[in-house]
Structure 1
């Protein structure tokens, strides 16, 4: 899949008219139905006036190629953070609400849950040894103040997950730092959980978080890695200029021009 073309299909093309005649002539071509300008993202020529104009080194920074892939990965991570954040906030509300209805829940648990024991025995489930039942019983027997702290902790963790998700979705640099720090702080807890019991879910979550931290650190040059922020910004601005320069030095009739009559809906 060509992510450049896919993105242009969803968001539209990005055309730019450099003020330098050399670049301007190469990025522009006449057609029987009007002038066409080359898209800085997908490389196709689009009929109509350019969206912007100015010096070549002031060309807009367009996510394309590797940058589009990075954006996709970060936004997939942000969706995972959003889901975790919402679940944690829902759990926090449930624990806090449980404090005011504790007696009724405890009575229902002690009276109704044992009625399931005969059925559980028939299907071979050791009811009294179930980890889920043990967890529920521990929560019910916990002190009210302990439950309040648990609810506060879940609410805080859920809020941090949502903040991290927003930063990653918006592709903000502070969001990348926030994600690396927050995820790294949780790694020791995930490793400790594996010492208690190894499950596919726990191993998968740990691997995903380690890969996510390393990927963001290296690809975004955080904490001074690979030249730090200066190298990262220079790379992005250089790419913006090179997109114009490279496109300007290619043949006047590239493949994109041939797509104009084939895709009239893309005409600007």
Structure 2
């Protein structure tokens, strides 16, 4: 997939007229229908006036190629964080609602479980030894205070997920660090759960989270990996077509600012 053309097809081309005459001459051509400016993303010449103008150093950062693909992956991760946060908030709502009517829920659970036992016996499922049933039964025995603290902890986790989603979607450096730290802290817990009981769902979730952490560390050069932040900023600047054109025009290329 040509990520440059895909992005231009969705967002439109990104053209810019720099004040430097030599650089502007390399980005502009005359056509039978008027002037055309070169797109800083896909490299095609686009008829019409440029979308922006000014000093080359003030040109907008237009991600291309690998950086554009990385941004797409970042936003997929952001959407996943939003979905996870919404699920956690739904659990918080159920806990708070259950906390005020714990006894009625306990009675309903006991009644429904007694009605389900004959069916479970026919399919060979021992309800009494089921970890799911025993887990629900233990949860129903929690005190209102314990349920309140559980709701607070889950609410804080949901806030962290939404913060991660915002940082990743907006391509903020702090969002990448937050995603790595927050996800990495839960990896030992996931490993322990897998060791206690191996299920395909647990393995899949662990593999996704581990891959996300490793990808962020490597591709975003976090914690000093592969040159750290300085190398990451240099990579962004080198990927810009405007930087390439400035170098070709013989002008000095200043480090990208963020």
- Normalising by structure 2, report the TM-score: 0.89
1:100 and 2:124 matched: no
Query: Partner residue of 2:153?
Result: 153
Q: Does the 8 Å CA contact 2:64/2:239 hold for their aligned counterparts?
A: no
> Is the Cα contact below 8 Å between 2:41 and 2:64 reproduced in 1?
yes
Superposed CA deviations along residues 212-256 of structure 1, whole A, max 9, x for unmatched, are 11211121121222222222223323433434347879xxxxxxx
Q: Matched residues in 1 for 2:56 and 2:245: separation? A: 6
Instruction: Quote the residue 2:39 is aligned against.
Output: 39
Alignment of 1:1-268 (within 5 A): 1-240=1-240, 241-245=242-246
Partner SS for 1:203: helix
What TM-score, normalized to structure 1? 0.86
Q: What residue ranges of structure 1 are gaps of 5+ in the alignment?
A: 250-268
**Matches of 2:71 and 2:217, distance apart in 1:** 14
What CA distance in whole angstroms lies between the structure 1 residues aligned with 2:154 and 2:20?
A: 57
Detail structure 1 runs of 4+ shifted over 6 Å in the superposition.
246-249
Query: In the TM superposition, what is the alpha-carbon distance from 1:178 to its structure 2 partner?
Result: 0.5
Distance 1:62 1:243 in 2: 12
Give the secondary structure class of the aligned counterpart of 1:37: strand
Q: Could you say which residue in structure 2 is the equivalent of 1:256? A: none
Deviation at 1:179, TM superposition (A): 0.5
Does the aligned pair in 2 maintain the 1:4–1:65 contact within 8 Å? yes
Distance in 2 separating the partners of 1:55 and 1:243: 15
In the TM superposition, residue 50 of structure 1 has moved relative to its aligned partner by: 0.9
Task: Tell me the alpha carbon deviations over residues 174-218 of structure 1, each in whole angstroms, 9 at most, x when there is no partner.
Answer: 100100110111111111111101111111111221221121112
Whole-angstrom CA distance in 2 between matches of 1:220 and 1:155: 29
Question: What is the CA–CA distance in structure 1 between the aligned matches of 2:117 and 2:45, rounded to whole Å?
Answer: 71
CA RMSD, aligned part only? 1.9
3-state SS, counterpart of residue 35 of structure 1: strand
Q: Specify every segment of 5 or more residues in structure 2 that has no aligned partner in the other structure, as ranges.
A: 251-258
How far apart are 1:139 and its partner, in Å? Answer: 1.0
**1:164-183 deviation per Cα after TM superposition (whole angstroms, max 9, x unaligned):** 11111111111001001101
Q: State whether residues 89 and 159 of structure 1, in contact with CA within 8 Å, keep that contact through their aligned partners in structure 2.
A: no
Native 8 Å contact 1:40 1:243 kept in 2: no
Distance 1:28 1:247, change over 3 A: farther
Q: Report the Cα distance in structure 2 between the residues aligned to 1:21 and 1:2, rounded to whole angstroms.
A: 31
Using CA pairs under 8 Å that are at least 6 residues apart, name the structure with larger relative contact order, 1 or 2.
1
1:164, 1:175 within 8 Å by CA — same for their partners in 2? yes
Paired position in structure 2 for 1:253: none
